[in-house]
Amino acid sequence: MSRLIIIGGSKGIGKAIVEALLSSYDEIINISRTAPEESHPNLKHYSCDILTEELPDIEEADGLVYCPGSINLKPIDRLSIDDFKNDFEINVIGAVKAIQKYLKALKNGNKPSIVLFSTVAAKLGMPYHASVAVSKSAIEGLTKSLGAELAPTIRVNAIAPTVTDTELASKLLRNERMIENMNERHPLKKYLQPQEVADMAGFLLSEKAASLSGQIFEMDCGIVSFKL
């Protein structure tokens, strides 16, 4: 039976991944604090706080996606040490905890794959992004290190999206002017929709990406890649 574990699959990009892949797996296990809005015969939910509670035991899985993240944008003189610690806990320690917990299950799976999430701010210097850039840069290092360590058994890749139209980014897209400015900032004159990121995650989990591991995929709408 094909099985996918998604940490944080009830909202935003995680929710889009669940919706996109329900027909691709016999079972998708969503582990998050809140239950998903939709129900489906292929979807199983465990209520769990990744940082404070024990993850459920799962014996076999073909894929693991870690979706939780943060957008904590403040000037450096307003960022506390606790801000840095909290962002690192959510973005990095949670991912490490999930990988360590389900490593054996993945090794028991069929051509297993792990997908993590970085951000364009790890490559492009952006004001007020110090805390998130630090933690997501660690995710990129983790992706490359584990890609090497777990080869050839488990592939490990990360997606680095630009602004995506989710609840997490709602403060950046809260009115028409901000939306227009965000479009204009990107050379492709757009930002991301969750479904686009879900499609990339689905590709990286699939056998179509069998030759890809240790890679960071910039879904940047041109903002990192181009200077126009």
Please give the pLDDT value at position 205. Answer: 98
| Cα-to-chain-centroid distance, residue 221 | 17
Helix (H) or strand (E) holding 156: strand 155-161
Residue 225 lies in a domain: no
Rounded to two decimals, the pTM is: 0.94
Q: Are 64 and 99 in contact (CB under 8 A)?
A: yes
Largest CA distance in the chain: 51
Strands 113-117 and 63-66: parallel
The residue type found at 69 is: G
Specify if 224 maps to a domain: no
- Which residue reads 């997908």 in tokens? 115
Does residue 97 form part of some domain? Answer: yes
Residue 23 belongs to a domain: yes
- Residue 213 included in any domain: yes
Q: Is 80 exceeded by the pLDDT of residue 195?
A: yes
DSSP letter assigned to residue 92: I
Q: Rounded to whole angstroms, what are the CA distances from 202 to 156, 195, 208?
A: 13, 10, 10
pLDDT for 10 equals 93
Residue-averaged pLDDT of the chain: 95
- Rounded mean pLDDT of 118-129? 94
Please answer whether residues 161 and 123 qualify as being in contact, where contact means their C-beta atoms are separated by less than 8 angstroms: no
Phi first, then psi, for residue 112 (nearest 5°) are -70, 155
Looking at residues 199-223, what average pLDDT do you find? 97
Domain count, the chain: 1
Domain-located, residue 227: no
- Convert the pLDDT of each residue in 66-110 to its tens digit: 999 888 899 999 999 999 999 999 999 999 999 999 999 999 999
Of 152, 128, 164, 139, nearest in space to 12 by CA: 164
Determine what percent of the chain falls in helix, strand and coil, rounding each to the nearest 5.
Answer: 40, 15, 40
The reply to whether 112 falls in a domain is: yes
Kindly indicate the confidence band of residue 3, based on its pLDDT and cuts at 50, 70 and 90.
very high
CATH number at residue 188: 3.40.50.720
| Domain extent for 134 | 3-219
* Residue 188 token pair: 């492709």
User: 185 Cβ partners below 8 Å, 6+ apart?
Assistant: 223
At 228, the pLDDT band (50, 70, 90 cuts) reads confident
Residue at 30: amino acid letter: N
Query: Is residue 50 included in any domain, yes or no?
Result: yes
